[in-house]
């Protein structure tokens, strides 16, 4: 049988096409399809490393698949494109009784197709190039990290390459080796983004670029108030929390209670909270629950009513999107009937502890430790009491379905001199018909999805990685969640109107005497969040709930309010106001290390000013602009190290901020930490130079190296820096670089 040569040729072509397709498919995966994870085992030193992936697909039953160690010493695992959006957990593969260890302990780390991620030895989940064999530069500090110091130290690494180049804010490329540490943020104004670009070339000759962004932040000081007569024993919390920010006391204005926030504005905020600070986030697996996360409390009044509006945040969409219930509209707080309170201080002569008294049908009296959630004198699941002065409690529920909602007044004197809330004299404000929403005695309440605030600040860290106290640490990773994709519709708002007649006060009383106010969210009976924020709502956040160990004990503990309330209308007569000082956020629009003849904008944002404000910008001690303008263009023509500064003067005082800025092909000069007098060594003269500078006795600002002198990395040159130098010389202090 003869075979036609033409047919054979066609078959060969088909076979070549099939072969080419297979090669192309293989090459496509090698070129970046799918995803990869790497694990640095130097922290744990596990004998074996497993990776468990779940989400759109599961790679294997727990504990997942065994990872292989590659030539770099890291453990590696690749996933095909069908794993489009997964969560990753690393484990030693052992059972509980054998010494099981895993990271993270709760929800896994996010991995999407096309990504290559590395869990570093200090548990940073960072971009590690792409899932292919090209050479890449990478940073050991995760992109998106925020910092509030003058700079952040970032260690650089290399994947499949021997050297790389970095550029900060488009500065000229500077060569680096794996393990080099650079300073990111030097000289730049805060509340801005710093962009780090890393380029590298692998053995295949392909050049790649990876981009990392970091947020440099400035946290202004807060004006605070204190009044001994309000009974507080804990000072108001600060950082991003605020009580009567900018001395705001609410506004005289008629509000339409309809769930529309257009009647309100930021000048009416009397208490500022933070997002992502409710108790759920301090438990490794509690984010599946509804968020009870207070963010801002507003107040207003007119001739008839006292009005409040509060915002609640839901950052679950950003922080833990895999928790589908919490990251959905089904998590809205009016899904259930949950107690909510407005605690007021109206009559300073009456102090309530939270207990309540009532009359039985037989005429005998009974006492409960708390107004809500008690049975025969016993709190079923915790409750909320008061050390700070409270005498009126407006108790309502989250979906306005509880007919027992009431205004309780502390009008019964107890034997210890405190006052008890009285069930018998309560003023009903609940609904008679849920469908009609016909609240009693003129009380009104409406709720809706929405957000009034233009910024939603909170800590950008998920469950399982939060630590108690981070919410008041200014160096925590605070971000504006709007920058991460937060939408107005994610949040919730409540509006209420309380007739002044039910509180036995009028407009004149509010504007002359003022009242104190706090909004309290519960999850049943125990407080979960408050505005103003009280530390009692987080004191048991990381303790297990007795009914469900996956959630927080905060749902059932006893909480005691000790911080000052926000004031509405007027301050207390004995109020002492601690005004925040004049402060300046100053710096350049680009990171230090730019090339000569680059146009640079120097800017200053002044806080807590009074009257007309003047800005004097200097470079190396010479004025380049002195006016009311808050920025100036500067184009340095020579390489070198420059001292840039601004002096801001208002009608009361002035303040000067100075930074060091390097010009010269992106190269940062080698700095001897503490070498203020620039002689190349650390001596007692350096401490003396700092003291002379701080005393204003330095004739020439160029005599001091401000960058080297600032040894404690807090962004300011103070006497503390001089003290640290003295301790170093005495062998009593070690720099950690």
pLDDT digits (tens, 9 = 90+) for 2-16: 444 444 444 334 344
Q: Per residue in 553-578, is it b (16+ CB within 10 Å) or e — as a string?
A: bbbbbbbbbbbbbbbbbebbeebeee
Distance CA 715, CA 721 (A): 11
* Residue 24 banded pLDDT, cuts 50, 70, 90: very low
pLDDT at 63: 94
Is residue 435 exposed (0-12), middle (13-18) or buried (19+ Cβ within 10 Å)? exposed
Question: Are 471 and 329 members of one domain?
Answer: yes
Please tell me whether residue 13 adopts helix, strand or coil conformation.
Answer: helix
Using one digit for the tens of pLDDT, what is the confidence trace for 460-509? 887 777 889 999 988 888 889 998 899 999 999 999 999 999 999 999 99
* Residue 76 belongs to some domain of the structure: yes
Question: Are 245 and 379 members of one domain?
Answer: yes
Are 526 and 520 a contacting pair, CB within 8 Å?
A: no
Average pLDDT over residues 587-598: 95
**Which residue from 223, 212, 159, 204 is spatially nearest to 185, judged by alpha carbons?**
212
Question: Are 263 and 325 members of one domain?
Answer: yes
* Residue 288 belongs to some domain of the structure: yes
Domain final position from 569, 601, 626: 569
Please tell me whether residue 343 adopts helix, strand or coil conformation.
Answer: strand
- The sign of the dihedral angle between the CA atoms of 592, 597, 599, 603 is positive
Question: Are 39 and 89 members of one domain?
Answer: yes
Using one digit for the tens of pLDDT, what is the confidence trace for 194-240? 999 999 999 899 999 999 999 999 988 888 889 999 999 999 998 89
Question: Are 288 and 395 members of one domain?
Answer: yes
Q: Residue 659 is part of a domain; what is its CATH number?
A: 2.60.40.10
Using one digit for the tens of pLDDT, what is the confidence trace for 36-70? 999 999 999 999 999 999 888 889 999 999 999 99
The helix or strand, by DSSP H or E, that contains position 164, with its residue range, turns out to be strand 164-168
> How many CB atoms neighbour CB 419 within 10 A?
22
Question: Are 254 and 150 members of one domain?
Answer: no
Question: Are 20 and 43 members of one domain?
Answer: no
Question: Are 417 and 533 members of one domain?
Answer: yes
* Residue 699 belongs to some domain of the structure: yes
Question: Are 162 and 204 members of one domain?
Answer: yes
* Residue 575 belongs to some domain of the structure: no
Which residues span the domain enclosing 702?
Answer: 670-737
Using one digit for the tens of pLDDT, what is the confidence trace for 604-633? 999 999 999 999 999 999 999 999 999 999
* Residue 574 belongs to some domain of the structure: no
> Cis before residue 63, ω within 30 degrees of 0?
yes
Name every residue whose Cβ is closer than 8 Å to that of residue 583 and which is 6 or more positions away in sequence.
220, 221, 606, 607, 608, 655
Q: Number of structural domains, the chain?
A: 5
Question: Are 613 and 674 members of one domain?
Answer: no
Domain final position from 637, 666, 695: 666
Task: Give the chain's mean pLDDT.
Answer: 89
Question: Are 451 and 470 members of one domain?
Answer: yes
- The percent of residues above 90 in pLDDT, for the chain, comes to 65
Domain final position from 216, 242, 271: 216
Token digits for 115?
A: 């990504």
Rg over alpha carbons for the chain, rounded to the nearest Å, is 31
Question: Are 737 and 657 members of one domain?
Answer: no
Are 431 and 401 a contacting pair, CB within 8 Å?
A: yes
- What is the value of pTM for the model shown? 0.76
Using one digit for the tens of pLDDT, what is the confidence trace for 386-404? 999 999 999 999 999 999 9
């Amino acid at each position: 049988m003869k075979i036609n040569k033409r047919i054979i040729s066609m078959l060969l072509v088909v076979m070549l096409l099939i072969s080419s397709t297979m090669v192309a498919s293989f090459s496509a995966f090698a070129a970046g399809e799918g995803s990869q994870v790497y694990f640095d085992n130097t922290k744990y030193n596990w004998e074996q490393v497993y990776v468990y992936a779940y989400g759109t697909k599961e790679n294997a039953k727990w504990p997942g698949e065994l990872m292989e160690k590659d030539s770099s010493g890291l453990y590696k695992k690749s996933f095909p494109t069908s794993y489009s959006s997964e969560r990753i957990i690393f484990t030693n593969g052992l059972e509980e009784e054998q010494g099981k260890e895993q990271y993270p302990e709760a929800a896994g780390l996010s991995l999407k197709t096309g990504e290559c991620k590395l869990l570093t030895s200090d548990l940073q989940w960072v971009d590690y190039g792409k899932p292919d064999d090209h050479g890449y530069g990478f940073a050991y500090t995760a992109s998106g990290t925020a910092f509030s110091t003058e700079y952040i130290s970032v260690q650089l690494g290399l994947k499949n390459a021997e050297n790389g180049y970095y550029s900060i804010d488009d500065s000229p490329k500077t060569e680096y080796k794996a393990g080099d540490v650079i300073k990111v943020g030097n000289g730049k104004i805060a509340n801005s983004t710093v962009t780090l670009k890393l380029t590298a070339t692998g053995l295949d000759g392909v050049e790649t670029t990876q981009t990392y962004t970091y947020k440099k932040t400035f946290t202004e000081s807060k004006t605070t108030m204190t009044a001994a007569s309000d009974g507080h024993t804990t000072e108001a919390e600060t950082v991003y929390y605020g009580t009567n920010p900018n001395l705001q006391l609410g506004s005289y204005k008629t509000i339409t209670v309809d769930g529309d926030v257009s009647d309100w504005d930021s000048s009416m905020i009397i208490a500022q909270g933070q997002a992502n600070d409710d108790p759920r986030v301090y438990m490794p697996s509690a984010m599946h629950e509804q968020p009870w996360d207070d963010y801002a409390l507003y107040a207003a009044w007119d001739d008839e009513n006292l009005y409040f509006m509060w915002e609640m945040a839901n950052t679950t969409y950003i922080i833990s999107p895999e928790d589908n219930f919490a990251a959905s509209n089904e998590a809205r707080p009016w899904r259930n009937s949950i107690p909510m309170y407005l605690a007021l201080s109206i009559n300073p002569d009456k102090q309530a502890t939270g207990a309540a008294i009532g009359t039985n049908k037989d005429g005998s009296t009974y006492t409960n430790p708390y107004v809500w959630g008690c049975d025969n004198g016993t709190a079923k699941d915790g409750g909320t009491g008061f050390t700070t002065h409270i005498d009126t409690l407006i108790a309502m529920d989250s979906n306005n379905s509880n007919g027992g909602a009431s205004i309780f007044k502390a009008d019964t004197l107890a034997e210890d001199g405190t006052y008890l809330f009285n069930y018998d004299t309560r003023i009903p404000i609940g609904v008679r018909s849920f469908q009609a929403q016909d609240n009693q005695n003129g009380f009104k309440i409406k709720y809706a999805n929405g957000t009034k605030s233009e910024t939603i600040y909170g800590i950008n860290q998920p469950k399982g990685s939060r630590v108690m106290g981070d919410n008041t640490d200014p160096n925590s990773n605070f971000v504006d969640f709007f920058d991460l994709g937060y939408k107005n519709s994610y949040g919730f708002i409540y509006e209420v109107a309380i007739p002044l007649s039910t509180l036995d006060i009028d407009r004149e009383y509010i504007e002359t005497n003022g009242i104190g106010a706090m909004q309290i969210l519960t999850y049943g009976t125990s407080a979960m969040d408050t505005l103003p924020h009280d530390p009692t709502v987080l004191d048991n956040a990381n303790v297990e709930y007795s009914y469900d160990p996956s959630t927080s004990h905060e749902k059932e503990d006893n909480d005691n309010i000790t911080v000052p309330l926000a004031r509405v209308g007027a301050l207390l007569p004995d109020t002492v106001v601690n005004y925040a000082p004049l402060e300046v956020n100053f710096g350049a629009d680009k990171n230090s290390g730019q090339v000569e003849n680059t146009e640079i904008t120097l800017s200053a944002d002044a806080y807590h000013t009074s009257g007309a404000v003047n800005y004097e910008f200097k470079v190396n001690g010479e004025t380049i602009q002195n006016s009311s303008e808050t920025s100036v263009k500067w184009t340095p023509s020579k390489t070198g190290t420059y001292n840039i500064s601004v002096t801001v003067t208002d009608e009361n005082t002035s303040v000067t901020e100075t930074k060091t800025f390097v010009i010269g092909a992106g190269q940062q000069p080698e700095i001897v930490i503490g070498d203020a007098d620039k002689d190349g060594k650390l001596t007692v003269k350096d401490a003396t130079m700092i003291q002379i500078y701080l005393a204003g006795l330095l004739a020439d600002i160029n005599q001091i190296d401000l960058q080297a002198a600032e040894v404690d990395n807090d962004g300011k040159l103070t006497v503390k820096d001089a003290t640290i130098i003295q301790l170093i010389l005495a062998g009593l202090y070690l720099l950690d670089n």
